[in-house]
Amino acid sequence: MYFLCICMHHSRMRKLRTVLRYCSKSTRCRHRHYTLKVLCVTFTDTLSASDHVRRVISDSAQSLYALRVLRYHGLGEAGLQTVFRAIVVSRLTYAASAWIRLITGTDNQHIEAFLHRSKRCGYCSPDLPDFVQLVEDEDERLFRRINNNSSHVLRGLLPPPSMMTQQYSLRRRPHDRQMPDHTGHR
């Protein structure tokens, strides 16, 4: 039995090329590539997003040079912070709910250090929350948009509204959806 492997190798011209090869199951594929890029998010075969974090921080650091040039040409602090939020923060939080649980504490510290350095340089607003809070806020905002818009494309993926009425004076739930039943799945 043969499996299709995506193999990466350097050619003579030192360009990275992708090659599809058929490899047998009995022999370990020595051409196996250990990362997968899905919608601009890089995952490794060990389900780690550390490579993605390094790439995003590197790309964002290059954007800081552009912000420095804008500051030199007279853009004010409020404008710099708006550009930083639009470019760098959006790049950091892009699809973050998919990969935030796949990063290590060290990766999170690298992101926080980058944001702290940006705050110190005046590119980032000092009241910007930490990275985990940014991702949680984005998730809540997306859920509210889906829940409040009956014609949203993702609305059909939500569980149906709950028909249960509670007679208890508990804290208010953030939504009226049925909770999934996890009994019997052991």
Q: What is the pLDDT of residue 112?
A: 93
Compute the distance between CA of residue 85 and CA of residue 77 in angstroms, rounded to an integer.
Answer: 12
Q: What is the pLDDT of residue 120?
A: 92
pLDDT tens-digit map of 105-115: 898 999 999 99
Band the pLDDT of 2: cuts 50, 70, 90. Answer: very low
Residue 99: pLDDT band by 50, 70, 90 thresholds?
confident
- Whether 154 shows a pLDDT value over 50: the answer reads yes
The predicted pLDDT at position 13 comes to 46
- The per-residue pLDDT for 83 is 93
165 falls in which pLDDT band (50, 70, 90)?
Answer: low
What percent of the chain lies above the pLDDT cut of 70?
63
Q: Where are the domains of the chain?
A: 1-33, 36-41+49-138
- Cα 107 to Cα 92: distance, rounded to the nearest angstrom: 12
Q: Rounded to whole angstroms, how far apart are CA atoms 35 and 103?
A: 15
- Is the CB of residue 175 less than 8 Å from the CB of residue 158? no
Dihedrals phi, psi of 157, to nearest 5 degrees: -85, -10
* DSSP assignment string, the chain: -EEEEEEEEE-TTS-EEEEEEEEESSS--TTB--EEEETTEEEETTS--HHHHHHHHHHHHHHHHHHHHHHHTT--HHHHHHHHIIIIIHHHHTTHHHHGGGS-HHHHHHHHHHHHHHHHHTSS-TTPPPHHHHHHHHHHHHHHHHHH-TT-TTGGGSPPBP-----S--PPPS--BPPPP-TT--
Name every residue whose Cβ is closer than 8 Å to that of residue 91 and which is 6 or more positions away in sequence: 56, 59, 60, 63
pLDDT at 30 over 60: no
Q: Are strands 35-38 and 16-24 parallel, antiparallel or unpaired?
A: unpaired
d(CA 52, CA 105): 14
| Nearest of 123, 104, 105, 103 to residue 114 by alpha carbon | 123
Name which residue leads in pLDDT, 165 or 93.
93
Least confident of 11-15, 99-103, 120-124, 169-173: 11-15
pLDDT at 14 over 60: no
Over the chain, what is the mean pLDDT? 76
Note the pLDDT of residue 100. 84
pLDDT of residue 24: 46
